[in-house]
Amino acid sequence: MGFQKQYGNLFKIMLGNRPRLVICDPKAAEFLLGSTSILEKSYEYKFLHSWLGTGLLTSSGGKWKRQRKLITPTFHFQILEQFIGVFDSQSDILVKKLNKEVDQKAFDIYPYITLCALDIICEAAMGTSVNAQNNSESEYVKNVKEMCRIVVDRSFSPIKMFDVLYPLSKDYKIEQNALKVLHGYTNYVIKKRKEELISKSSTTEKHDDTGAKKRLAFLDLLLQCQVDGKPLPQEVIREEVDTFMFEGHDTTTSGISFALYHLSKYPEVQEKAVNELRSIFADNKDGSPTYQDLQNMKYLEMVIKESLRLYPPVPAYARVLEETVKYDGSILPKGLTLMVLSHGLHRNTNVFPDPEKFDPERFSPENSAGRSPYAYVPFSAGPRNCIGQRFAMLEMKSTISKVLRNFELLPVPEHEPIASVEAIVKSANGLPVYLTKRQF
């Protein structure tokens, strides 16, 4: 961010012997993210291969195009609608956990949200529960955290970034043990779901005991996918499920936590959001939200978007050039890494005046009109945009609205978050809030 202030919205840095063009400008961001040919991810993504293989996040070329085409239908809104019950039941557990913090001293909201988001994505992706909120010491939870830490460490370590030297480090052995747990769990769940699908292929199994249509987890949909009349190989299914476990919990944790923190700091914004919820739930004060209720949370969506602008969970998107290209009268050489720094792009003063100010009105329909879709990229943009962004927005709305309906969030004066990167953007000094009970 210091370099952006010093050199402007486009500048080159060297990481070891690797040149990198850092982009904080919408036009250059569009050139990169909008491209259908610059799709190769940069070198640091390879540190995820041992865990995620070449799933949707890490693959490129033909495999990425095939997988994207195959998986896109699983995020149709009618399928997303089925997950609202998962969001609601897990946020109910979150509320129970937060009750013990009411009228106590300030506490960091982040760890609570992490466990809730992990429970949500596990149930949605695999149709099973790790019970993270009730068992925060679970092996799966601990090893997800370890792998996220290792990936970031390897990106910046002059020793660990090289495959030849990495096995000499302590982290190598930690990673091997973590992968045994993570892959072991995913493979076990896939095997179990496969057996259930085979045994339940009779007509009666498409509905539960009440006659309601059964919800299919993301894994179930993958198990039903076919390519050239053949089911997907076990390894491909595991890669995609692991990818969703990785991408779908830390990112939404960051988004929900920063949004709740901002709501605590700006009481007038919180009041506006709560009034919107009161009007939505006027005839159903203690009820669960429907898909339409979540769609009607227009102001809360603006709050979430502004929070994601200031603290986008994914701090950067990077690609490497496989051939020399021309851009804006310049030559960009083969091998150059292009990196959109979303944290800087979202603070470009030409697009967002007074960028450090928290102002949800930036995202009102009239203020958003005419803004480049590449000026604001919390879910990336272009052909490799986040396939789960609608799922994420519904989850964030559901969880945040449940907290707001139960608690008033009060600020911790003088606290300012210190942004740091641990695979995603977190606050190095936590996100503390006070809670009191709300009369909704």
The domain spans of the chain are 71-201+211-314+381-437
pLDDT in tens, 68-108: 888 888 787 788 888 999 999 999 999 999 999 999 999 99
Q: What's the 3-state SS for 328-373?
A: CCEEECCCCEEEEEHHHHCCCCCCCCCCCCCCHHHHCHHHHCCCCC
pLDDT in tens, 3-45: 999 999 999 998 777 899 999 999 999 999 999 889 888 888 8
Rounded to 5, what percent of the chain is helix, strand, coil? Answer: 55, 15, 35
User: Which pair of tokens denotes residue 77?
Assistant: 């809104």
Query: What does the pLDDT average to over 394-408?
Result: 98
> What was the pLDDT predicted at 209?
47
Nearest to 83 by CA among 387, 291, 295, 245: 291
Q: Which residues contact residue 22 at a Cβ distance below 8 angstroms, ignoring those fewer than 6 apart? A: 3, 4, 10, 11, 12, 13, 339, 341, 344
| Helices 110-126 and 139-156, axial angle in degrees (round to 10) | 110
pLDDT tier for residue 320 given thresholds of 50, 70 and 90 = very high
Mode of pairing for the β-strands spanning 18-23 and 337-341: parallel
Higher-confidence position of 225 and 33: 33
What is residue 102's DSSP assignment? B
Q: Which residues contact residue 142 at a Cβ distance below 8 angstroms, ignoring those fewer than 6 apart? A: none
228 sits in the region (left: phi over 0; alpha: psi -120 to 50; else beta) called: left
Q: Is 148 annotated as a binding residue?
A: no
pTM, 2 dp? 0.92
User: Which pair of tokens denotes residue 143?
Assistant: 């090893």
User: Which pair of tokens denotes residue 82?
Assistant: 């089925």
> What was the pLDDT predicted at 96?
97
- Least confident window among 113-122, 123-132, 214-223, 339-348: 214-223
Identify the burial level of 119 via C-beta atoms within 10 angstroms of its C-beta, where 0-12 means exposed, 13-18 middle and 19 or more buried. buried
163: phi then psi, degrees, rounded to nearest 5: -60, -30
Q: Which CATH number fits domain 71-201+211-314+381-437: 1.10.10.10, 1.10.630.10, 1.10.3720.10, 3.30.70.930?
A: 1.10.630.10
> What was the pLDDT predicted at 156?
81
Higher-confidence position of 135 and 355: 355
pLDDT tier for residue 206 given thresholds of 50, 70 and 90 = low
pLDDT in tens, 237-266: 999 989 888 888 889 999 999 999 999 999
The SS3 of residue 440 is: coil
